[in-house]
Amino acid sequence: MRISEVLSFLEKKYPLEYQEDFDNCGVQCGDKEQEITGVVVCFEMSEATIDEAVRKKANLVISHHPLMLRRGICKIEPTHRVGKILCKALENKMVLYSMHTNLDSAVGGVNDTFAAKLHLQNVSVLSPIPGGMKKLSVFVPKAQAEEVRNALFEAGCGHIGNYDHCAYTLEGTGTFRPLQDANPYIGKPGETETVAEERIEMVFPNHLQKKVVEALYQSHPYEEPVFDIYQLDNQNNKVGLGRIGELPEPMDAEAFFQNLKQVFGLTMLRYYGDAHRKVQRIAVLGGGGSSFIGQAMAAKADVYVTGDVKYHDFHSAEGRMLIADIGHFESEQFIKEIIYNEIKENFNTFAVSLCETEKMQISII
């Protein structure tokens, strides 16, 4: 099996299109068309991670944080941390791959898992990805409309919130005249034809376009199917950074913080606000989430749990919402298990392991 087959599988569930503009998810270096020998999953790439992969005879290393961001390094020399890691990986014919904000935003990714760990209910996305949807409009002869509609549903069209098989159909008349070289499904070359057709409209997420167009061509009877694809400004409400939901029962903020410490194995957390008030509506965002404090407040969160909150950022909530900073690493530490389980449960022809040499790099005394 090639490395690219494993990566394609992961990208179906965690599409690279979901990444933020600054990010650089996906292959960092190496030839993904080589045969896979094993996978090591880590949080952050380091020389020790590469050494461990060499020892384990694994040629694919998957991390959460990318080694390079979009405006990152432009020289690869073993004179700095990133260059050393890349040189060592390439010397050992490895592929380095990262699942960062695409994993944060996707359904079942970092933020969904964060919300699930706190048993939040009625969970929705705190900051949905804007413009992640397209609309397909296709003209089909009435007799084949059902078959085409079903093929497009199968390819992932027509999914809106908690509904699937969403489509709009309008009946009308299509006209065309096949030219001499045509091989028409209906009609004869040189004669104008009129056909009772349906115009079918459906939405789909950007990353499914290739699959949707393939399904359209395979199911549509015409030699030249006519269709339009539009980019929408609508949000994809299922995908994006952060989540907001409710605890089953209101509880004291202090008790909530104690539970938070237990769930994430924290020795401490930093918070701002009145710990004696009752809380129920909880916003979460794994990693550094200071810039989403306003969105958590707008969503009427009682508490916003994230990492990397600066002193003055705490004040921006003006005491109306509690903010808990549990640390960047601590709020994302479970990510490795998501990637590991995804591979373990779906592939059995190579070994996958969690990086054993990695440890929290910032200490508390």
Which chain residues interact with Zn ion by CB under 5 A?
287, 332
- Residue 301 neighbours by CB under 8 Å, 6+ apart: 244, 281, 282, 283, 321
Q: In the complex, what is the shortest distance from the CB of residue 211 to Zn ion, in angstroms, rounded to a whole number?
A: 30
- Is the Cβ–Cβ distance between 307 and 325 less than 8 Å? yes
Query: How far apart are CB 335 and Zn ion at their closest, in Å?
Result: 8
Closest approach, Cβ 18 to Zn ion, in A, equals 15
Residue 198 vs 332, nearer CB to Zn ion: 332
DSSP 160: B
Residue 40 CB, nearest approach to Zn ion (Å): 19
Judge residue 218's burial from the number of C-beta atoms within 10 Å of its C-beta, 0-12 exposed, 13-18 middle, 19 or more buried: exposed
28 versus 59: smaller Cβ distance to Zn ion: 28
Q: Does residue 247 sit in helix, strand or coil? A: strand
CB of residue 98 to Zn ion, shortest distance in Å: 11
Which CB, 52 or 332, lies closer to Zn ion? 332
Query: Between 159 and 243, whose beta carbon lies closer to Zn ion?
Result: 243
On the 0-12 / 13-18 / 19+ scale of CB atoms within 10 A, 241 is: buried
User: Shortest Cβ distance from residue 333 to Zn ion (Å)?
Assistant: 10
Residue 241, amino acid? L
Name the minimum Å distance from CB 292 to Zn ion: 14
Nearer CB in complex with Zn ion: 242/287: 287
Which residue number, 200 or 285, has a Cβ lying nearer to Zn ion? 285
Q: Which residues have CB under 8 Å from 141's CB, separation 6+?
A: 174, 185, 186, 195, 196, 197, 198, 221, 222
Nearest to 303 by CA among 237, 265, 259: 259
**Which of helix, strand or coil describes residue 307?**
strand
Q: Closest residue to Zn ion, Cβ-based?
A: 287
Number of H helices, E strands in the chain: 12, 15
Q: Are 25 and 214 in contact (CB under 8 A)?
A: no
Q: Quick one: 23 or 332, whose CB is closer to Zn ion?
A: 332
Which helix (H) or strand (E) element contains residue 207?
none
